[in-house]
Amino acid sequence: MPFVRVSYSEEKYNKKELSLISQGILNSLIEDFNIPPKDYFQIFNSHKKEEIYYDEDYLINGNRTEGVLYIQITCGSGRTKEQKKSLYRNIAHKLFTNCKIPKENVFIILIETELENWSFGEGLAQMIK
């Protein structure tokens, strides 16, 4: 049940690249978090260059560029640290392989929440048994 928000600098990525980014994130979530393929909820937001701030090399060996992607994944809790680390690696690898996005530009934050905090529509809490 991940909900994904991706923020990026406008005009840095075209429609095809955004679709590949979306699919790379989804496929990584399927592989590492074992989500169903239809559990696909993502929003992409472009921002003006002057609305995106980052340090070029904080906690990484290379340099971030204007092509930095902020990927925020909200999901249910319960994944292991190894699953999370694998997810981060997998997303960065897929985005580099499919879109040539440098791994240094893939900034991911994972936010975990309990199942009762989700409604997928119809005013129902589908995840509560």
Say which CATH class 3-117 falls into: alpha beta
Q: Which helix (H) or strand (E) holds 22?
A: helix 15-33
pLDDT tens per residue, range 62-101: 999 999 999 999 999 999 999 999 999 999 999 999 999 9
pTM of the model: 0.92
- Domain spans of the chain? 3-117
pLDDT tens per residue, range 102-121: 999 999 999 999 888 888 89
User: Could you list the active site residues?
Assistant: 2
Phi, psi of 56 (to 5 degrees): -65, -30
Please, what sign has the CA dihedral across residues 51, 53, 56, 57? negative
Q: Determine the pLDDT at residue 128.
A: 86
